[in-house]
A and B are shown apart, each in its own frame.
Chain A
């Protein structure tokens, strides 16, 4: 594989794609949303359970490409124990990073695990793949059962 490809498909991404975390439907979630990218047929559901103000658990299921699936998987691991505000802030951080120019250096300390998606910036058509789960999560935070679409 060429070096470019390696930059997109970071080991962490491939690993999460193969063994997605929190990959299951949740019974009686407090928040739930379905995300759909009609262009590539990617479809994910995100489920959230709260304990008071704190996100106790996030799970997801559905299907999509390696980028969308691993992004959803990594996201679920980051949200546990966060407040709704924290989750929104994390969304903004991810969104800003992924839509920044590929030349912008990544602040890996600040971004943590999210930095593995930095390579996606080189592939404008894949940005929607990486953000699908995040947009869906935002909708699910509100508790409603809604459908979001990238188009």
Chain B
């Protein structure tokens, strides 16, 4: 982490137009990046699947169990107070990170998937009925398709799919045409995990709001890489996953507009989400606790808070700018290699480089790269409709984070030439 004393020096360097991130320094914070495989350094390019964790997060988890562990919101004893404070402190950090108006609009979930399911269950069951429609896009992760399909099936509603063009961009006019008085919700990804496309959320929300239709934004791939301001986006729901944000697995966030959240029935029933229980009647707790039944993932929440501190300290603007530069560089490296087809060439693009090669199946590409110490993903990336749209069974995907370097992308390029040697 950048220590306060060094900030000044860094800032002067930025003023000179340098990249703005001391990546070498940042890499030292990530113990796993020091690993070697058969003498070769680990080149971790599977960040869209999950990110690596800085030492600060790892230490926070350990510290929690060594000095803070107790259940939250339950006991009068000292430890419980410490744990509760740390837990609620993390909620405040998330509030600032996404610029939520209130911290009670920040609900902790197990991840983006659970956040979407919560909304499908609590909002969906209440507001979606026979003949109604839910709109998604053709570039969604399965987790932003299946819950809506299940809901539509149950309610006799219809799922509408906004198409994408050959670059992997949402065809906005077609999306707009789908909006109608039957639409109950738009559920769309901020950044596509299979294509890297950054969707124009502000514009999408504006269009939907003209029909008073709420919009859920799947921020699983944006929260780790772009500054997030839910008030500026004006979205009604926003979900993300801690493990993709350099925090622990098993923790995520659902943000919602207060009036909507207030109007929704709980998702899970149990402890903590109630004010009073008799066998005749239960009074639900207020936000956010209404949606946090049971003992939460306390150390996950605390770890996520530390990950957010880390990101905020480095600066999301700088991260976004640096990753943009890396993405352009990576696109260049890949397109210089003959026989490589890029899948996802949107003008607004995050650090997801999805591609196929004429000579080799993505699986084989991934395997050869693995032996070079380079970790990428090969497959459908939980986005089978995207694969169908582009007529490929699978893609190879290198996905970036702010600790990656141009040298690593050069190593990727070199390894891809090796793939050609083997399979051509």
The answer to whether A40 and B363 touch across the interface, beta carbons within 8 angstroms, is: yes
A4 and chain B: residue at smallest CB distance:
B371
Provided the pairs A1-B368, A5-B371 are in contact, do residues A14 and B38 lie with their beta carbons within 8 angstroms? no
A41 within 8 A of B: yes
**Contact assessment for B393 and A41 in the assembled complex, using a CB-CB cutoff below 8 Å:** yes
- Evaluate contact between A8 and B367: CB separation under 8 angstroms: yes
- Contact mask for chain A residues 27-51; partner B; CB cutoff 8 A; 1 contact, 0 none: 0000000000011111100000000
B55 beta carbon closer than 8 Å to chain A: no
Residue of chain A at shortest CB distance from B418 = A1
B422, CB-defined interface residue at 8 Å: yes
In whole angstroms, what is the CA distance A123 to B367 when docked?
Answer: 10
Task: Report yes or no: B394 in contact with A66, Cβ–Cβ below 8 A.
Answer: no
The answer to whether the Cβ of A113 comes within 8 Å of any Cβ in the partner chain is no
* Bound-complex Cα distance A66 to B422 (A): 11
Judged by a CB distance under 8 angstroms, whether A96 is at the interface is no
Beta-carbon contact of A2 and B423 below 8 Å: no
Contact between A63 and B363, CB atoms less than 8 A apart:
no
Q: Indicate if A24 sits at the interface (CB-CB under 8 A).
A: no
Tell me if B317 is interfacial: C-beta within 8 Å of chain A: no
Is A129 a contact of B371 with CB atoms below 8 Å? Answer: no
The verdict on B91 contacting chain A, using a C-beta distance below 8 Å, is no
Task: Judge whether B253 is part of the interface by a CB distance below 8 angstroms.
Answer: no
A65 proximal to B (CB < 8 A): yes
State in angstroms the CA–CA spacing of A5 and B422 once bound together. Answer: 10
Binary contact readout B312-331 vs A (1 if CB under 8 angstroms, 0 otherwise): 00000000000000000000
Contact status of A18 and B423, CB under 8 A, knowing A8-B367, A40-B393: yes
Q: Which partner residue on chain A sits nearest B415 by CB separation?
A: A1
A residues less than 8 Å from B364 (CB atoms): 9, 65-67
Residue numbers in B under 8 Å from A41 (CB-CB): 379-380, 387, 392-394
CB-based contact A40/B379 at 8 Å: yes
Q: Out of B360, B361, B362, B367, which one reaches A5, CB within 8 Å?
A: B367
Q: Which of A47-105 contact B (CB under 8 A)?
A: 63-67, 69
Category for how many chain A residues contact B: 20 to 34
B379→A5 contact, CB < 8 A: no
Bound: A64/B392 CA distance, A? 11
Q: Tell me how far the C-beta of B355 lies from the nearest C-beta in chain A, rounded to whole angstroms.
A: 15
A14→B367 CA distance, assembly (Å):
14
Q: Using Cβ atoms and an 8 Å threshold, which residues of chain A touch B380?
A: 39-41
CB of B412 within 8 Å of the partner chain: no
A1 to B371, CA, bound (A): 8
Chain B residues 373 to 393 lying within 8 A of chain A, measured CB to CB, are: 378-380, 384, 387, 392-393
Asked whether any CB of chain B lies closer than 8 Å to the CB of A17, the reply is yes
Residue A19 at the B interface, CB < 8 A? no
CA A5 to CA B360, docked complex, whole Å: 14
On whether the beta carbons of B394 and A17 are closer than 8 Å, the reply is no
Tell me whether B393 and A42 are in contact (CB under 8 A). Answer: yes
- The answer to whether B387 and A1 have CB atoms under 8 Å apart is no
Q: Are A65 and B418 in contact (CB under 8 A)?
A: no
A144 at the interface (CB under 8 A from B): no
Q: How far is the CB of A40 from chain B (nearest CB, A)?
A: 5
Q: Which residues of B contact A65 (CB under 8 A)?
A: 361-364
Q: Residue A2 contacts which of B38, B379, B421 (CB distance < 8 angstroms)?
A: B38
Cβ of B393 and Cβ of A1 under 8 Å apart? no
Please state if B379 and A39 are interface contacts (CB–CB under 8 Å).
yes
- What string of 1s and 0s marks CB contacts (under 8 Å) between B155-192 and chain A? 00000000000000000000000000000000000000
The listed residue (A18, A63, A123) touching B393 by CB distance below 8 A is A63
With A41-B393, A41-B394 already in contact, the answer to whether A2 and B371 are too (CB < 8 A) is yes
User: Please, how many angstroms separate the alpha-carbon atoms of A8 and B368 in the complex?
Assistant: 10
CB distance from B386 to the nearest CB of A (A): 12
Given A1-B421, A2-B372: 20 more A-B contacts, CB < 8 Å:
A1-B371, A1-B422, A2-B38, A4-B371, A5-B371, A8-B367, A9-B368, A14-B422, A38-B384, A40-B361, A40-B363, A40-B378, A41-B392, A41-B394, A64-B361, A65-B361, A65-B364, A123-B367, A126-B363, A129-B363
28 A–B contacts, CB within 8 A, in A order: A1-B371, A1-B418, A1-B421, A1-B422, A2-B38, A4-B371, A5-B367, A5-B368, A5-B422, A9-B367, A9-B368, A14-B423, A17-B423, A39-B379, A40-B362, A40-B380, A40-B393, A41-B379, A41-B393, A43-B393, A63-B393, A64-B361, A64-B393, A65-B361, A67-B363, A69-B361, A126-B363, A126-B367
- The residues of A with any CB-CB pair to B shorter than 8 Å are 1-2, 4-5, 8-9, 14, 17-18, 38-43, 63-67, 69, 123, 126, 129
